[in-house]
Structure 1
Amino acid sequence: MDFEQVIKNRKSTRQFTDQKVAVEVIKKVLQEAQLAPSWVNSQPYHVHLATGDSLERVRAQQEQLDNSGAKGAPDLPMMSRKDWPAQAQVNMAEWTKGLGAAGKEMGPASAKLYNAQEVLYLTLPKGYSLWSLYDLGSFGNGIVLAATNQGLASMTAYQFIKYPKMLRKELNIADDEEIIIGIGLGYPDDNALVNTIKSRRMNLDDILTIHR
């Protein structure tokens, strides 16, 4: 794909098919994502790939925790929507209002980790510089764009990392790594209603100030 196609085709996929992704394809995606900018070339992040049996154990544990009513306790603290800036609250409210019938499928889909066939858990070392969050965000964006270029669908979601204690146990992630975000990869289920959800972006003039 050319660059514009990649940007426009990237979307959050909330239901994947059962088709697996070859590890070599994932490695290519990660190698391309590594070209993202990094503060003083620090490259502070680490990637844990959950696939096959390890991912199915995580998925089973995740569903059990969700069904038990366990509260998420991510390493990167969540903030209530009411504490976000006013414009962000407006954007989130509009998005939620526009979900329609597809919104009813979000809960069941997320409980099964969207049926993602591969999940990348991105971590930073404890005590990381706040600058490293920009690096990780750039790296993560590089992942989803490179994945799109390879014909893969992706989903970046809180749901993947809401139970870090379980993830450390199942994936043997060291205590000195903060689990920041998870990215699901696979092939989209084009028949899933939940995959019809679209997000509207703000008008450029609403976020841009030109200083001449």
Structure 2
Amino acid sequence: MNFKEVFQNEHVTRRFTNRRVPEKAIAEIIEKAQQSPSLLNSQPWRAYVIMGDALEGFKKAAAENMDNKVKPNEDFAAMLSLDWDTFPSSNMAMMGASQSFFFRNKLHLFTEANKTTFNAPAIIFLTIPKKSPAWSVFDLGIFAQSIMLLAINRGLGIMPAHSMVSYPDLVRKYARIPEDESVGMAIAIGYIDKNAEVNDPVFIPKRVPFNKIYKITK
């Protein structure tokens, strides 16, 4: 694809097919994403991919936690404060109001997809060292965006989801992540299930008017 096509095709996938993604393809995507810039070339990120038996074990354990209403304890919890500024709070409120309409009052479809980890054939967990400045979180976001755009360019679907890092102890267990690394985010990757109702239609939330986020001073 050309860059415009890749960029315009960036949207989340709520259910993947059972088709396996070649390990080599995932490795190539992550290797190319290493070109992402970082503060002082610190490259604080690491990527841990789980698939096969490890993924099935993780999915089962995570679903059990959800069923038992185990409280999430994200490694980035201190950064997930609910004390949002008014500007992002209003944007999130608009998103919440539009979801019911988009899903035609079938939010249970998304809930079920989330519980089954979107039927993903592979998940990429991204970490930074626990001993990191806040700037490393910004670097990790750049790395993640590179991974997602590169995946889309290969015809794959992506789903970056907060729910997949809700239980970092499980992530560490199944992805074999050391204790001195913070589990920052996760990206499910696979082939889009075009027959799944939860994927239809593609939902791209409205963006804030440009003049509200763009200012120029001369």
* TM-score, L = length of structure 2: 0.92
Distance in structure 2 (CA, Å) of the matches to 1:38 and 1:201: 27
Q: Which moved more, 1:197-206 or 1:14-23?
A: 197-206
Q: Does residue 110 in structure 1 map to residue 149 in structure 2?
A: no
SS at match of 2:25: helix
Counterpart of 1:209 in structure 2: which amino acid? K
Number of the residue aligned with 1:209: 215
SS at match of 1:98: helix
Number of the residue aligned with 1:75: 75
Kept in 1: contact 2:73–2:168 (CA 8 A): yes
Structure 1 ranges of 4+ moved more than 3 A: none
SS at match of 1:183: strand
Number of the residue aligned with 1:132: 136
Pick from 174, 177, 180: which aligns with 2:181? Answer: 177
Cα deviations by residue, 1:94-121 (Å, 9 ceiling, x for unpaired): 1121112343312111111111111000
SS at match of 1:75: coil
Structure 2 unaligned spans of 5+: none
Give me the identity figure in percent.
32
Number of the residue aligned with 1:7: 7
Distance in structure 2 (CA, Å) of the matches to 1:86 and 1:103: 26
Q: Which moved more, 1:123-132 or 1:102-111?
A: 102-111
SS at match of 1:165: helix
Distance in structure 1 (CA, Å) of the matches to 2:158 and 2:52: 17
Q: Does residue 119 in structure 1 map to residue 127 in structure 2?
A: no
Q: Which moved more, 1:31-40 or 1:190-199?
A: 190-199
Number of the residue aligned with 1:96: 96
Distance in structure 2 (CA, Å) of the matches to 1:67 and 1:41: 42
From the superposition, tell whether residues 163 and 183 of structure 1 become closer, same or farther in structure 2 (CA, over 3 Å). Answer: same
RMSD between aligned residues: 1.2
Counterpart of 2:19 in structure 1: which amino acid? Q
Kept in 2: contact 1:102–1:193 (CA 8 A): no
Query: What is the count of residue pairs matched by the alignment?
Result: 210
* TM-score, L = length of structure 1: 0.95
Kept in 1: contact 2:50–2:174 (CA 8 A): no
